[in-house]
Amino acid sequence: MRIAITRQISPAINQCELTHIARETIDYKRACAQHKQYEDALRSLGIDIISLEAEPALPDSVFVEDVALVLDECAIMLNPGASSRRPEVASVEKALAPYRDVFRIRPPGTVDGGDILRVGKTVYVGLSSRSTENAIEQIKAILEPRNYEVRAVNVTGCLHLKSAVTRVSENTLLINPGWVSKGDFPGMQFIEVDPAEPYAANAVLVDGTLIYPSSFSKTRAKLERAGINMLIVDADELAKAEGAVTCCSLIFEF
Say what the pLDDT of residue 119 is. 97
- 61: CATH: 3.75.10.10
Integer distance in angstroms from the first to the last C-alpha of the chain?
5
pLDDT value for 219: 98
Q: How many domains does the chain have?
A: 1
pLDDT digits (tens, 9 = 90+) for 23-60: 999 999 999 999 999 999 999 999 999 999 999 999 99
Enclosing domain of residue 52: 2-253
pLDDT digits (tens, 9 = 90+) for 135-160: 999 999 999 999 999 999 999 999 99
Question: Are the CB atoms for 211 and 245 separated by under 8 Å?
Answer: yes
- Give the model's pLDDT for residue 79: 98
pLDDT of residue 230: 98
User: Which residues does the annotation mark as catalytic?
Assistant: 160, 247
Q: What is the pLDDT of residues 201-238, one digit of tens each?
A: 999 999 999 999 999 999 999 999 999 999 999 999 99
> What mean pLDDT is predicted for residues 239-243?
98
Assess contact for 230 and 220: CB atoms under 8 A. Answer: yes
